[in-house]
Amino acid sequence: QQQVKQSPQSLIVQKGGISIINCAYENTAFDYFPWYQQFPGKGPALLIAIRPDVSEKKEGRFTISFNKSAKQFSLHIMDSQPGDSATYFCAASINAGNMLTFGGGTRLMVKP
Amino acid sequence: ETGVTQSPTHLIKTRGQQVTLRCSSQSGHNTVSWYQQALGQGPQFIFQYYREEENGRGNFPPRFSGLQFPNYSSELNVNALELDDSALYLCASSLEGMGSEQYFGPGTRLTVT
């Protein structure tokens, strides 16, 4: 499987701050890049996704930035809240419905 | 709209036994993918079923097998369980063979002793 590398492994942010999680991929055939949020004991929930024809996508407090030439993409969580404390996974696939290759995850803790 | 459901929630098996996990896809979704998530790691793709046919497989041995039924529900079967099979097994459904987002169920926690 082609790798997707995610950093940092863990992140602590103060309430109201910006959380930034980065991912890098190898396979240039990937054309779909989703982010999932997972709470303990639950399945991953789709947060936001981007395709390589745009460099940025924003949905509420969540923004994906995409750099095709660098093969990197990142998730920004603005105005981070304690309820955002969870594990976040980036992923990539060739077409949205196909096999997802996941990063290793980032455990985010937002301190009140 | 009903989301993805999985059963059982958790179970404990002994090494060498066989297990069957079940998944009901989201209403209208005809594609089901199975993932294994070891503790502290990202999910790893096992295989996908589209219209009752296997439509892609990850790096898992043949003792991992699956089925999809006409109502698009699916089963994951694991034979000759090993200790390393202990994990959260996730099912994800999507609409059509490709091109739509995958939505995950809550998972089945399998413990092999």
What's the pLDDT tens digit per position in A67-105? 999 999 999 999 999 999 999 999 999 987 889 999 999
Q: Are A92 and A5 in contact (CB under 8 A)?
A: no
Inter-chain touch A96–B102, beta carbons under 8 Å? yes
Confidence (pLDDT) at A79: 98
Task: Say if the Cβ atoms of A100 and B35 lie within 8 Å.
Answer: yes
Q: Are strands B87-94 and B10-13 parallel, antiparallel or unpaired?
A: unpaired
Contacts with A100 from chain B: Cβ below 8 Å: 33, 35, 43, 45, 92, 102
Alpha carbons B108 and B21: distance in angstroms, whole number: 7
- Cβ within 8 Å, pair A99-B103: no
SS3 assignment, position B79? coil
**Residue A87, strand partner residues:** A38, A107
Q: How confident is the model at residue A2 (pLDDT cuts 50, 70, 90)?
A: low
| pLDDT at residue number B36 | 98
- Number of helices (H), then strands (E), belonging to chain B: the values are 0, 11
C-alpha A65 chain-centroid distance = 10
How far is it, in rounded angstroms, from Cα B24 to Cα B32? 9
B41 CB within 8 Å of a chain A CB: yes
How many Cα atoms sit within 13 Å of B95 on the Cβ side? 6
What pLDDT shows up at residue B1?
Answer: 55
Q: Which amino acid is at A31?
A: D
**With an 8 Å Cβ cutoff, are B58 and A99 in contact?**
yes
The whole-number average pLDDT for the span A40-66 is 94
In this prediction, the residues of chain B whose per-residue pLDDT falls under 50 are: none
- Cβ-defined contact of A97 to B96 (cutoff 8 Å): yes
| pLDDT score at B26 | 87
Q: Do residues A85 and A13 touch, judged by C-beta distance below 8 A?
A: no
| Residue in B104, B108, B110 to test binding to A, most A beta-carbons within 10 Å | B104
Contact B7, B110 (CB under 8 A): no
pLDDT for residue B28: 82
Which DSSP state fits A99? P
Calpha distance B44→A33 (Å, rounded): 16
